[in-house]
Amino acid sequence: MIEDSQRNFGAILLLILVIALAIYTACFKLVLWIVNGLAVFTGLFLLFLWIVNGVIGYIEHGAVLSDTEPRLTDEDDQQMKVKYEAVLTRF
C-alpha cells in the first residue's frame, strides 16, 4: 500500500514538474517573442528617424544653396512695403 502511494506521489510530482517546465518554456518563448518584437520595432523606428533626419538635412542643404541667390536690397524691400501699404489702404 505504501509503495503504491509513493509511486502515485512520484508520478504526480513528475507531472507537476513537466507542467511547470512547459509553462516556463511557454513564458520564456513569450518573453523572447516580446523582446524580439521590441528590438525589431526599435530598429524600424531608428531607421525612420534616420530617413527623416536625412530628408531634413537635404531640405536644409537646399535652403543653404538657395541663400546664394541674390536677395532684395533695402530699396526693393521699401518698394514692396509701399505697394503692400497701397493695397491695404484701398480697403
Which tens digit of pLDDT belongs to each residue from 8-27?
888 888 999 999 999 999 99
Quote the pLDDT of residue 61: 74
pTM, whole model, 2 decimals? 0.46
Question: For residues 49, 51, 53 and 59, what is the CA-based torsion angle, rounded to 10 degrees?
Answer: -150
pLDDT for position 4: 66
Tell me the pLDDT tens digit for each residue of 23-69. 999 998 998 999 999 999 999 999 999 999 988 888 777 665 566 66
Please state, in angstroms and rounded to a whole number, the distance separating the CA atoms of residues 51 and 44. 10
- 88 vs 65, more confident: 88
Q: Where are the domains of the chain?
A: 2-90
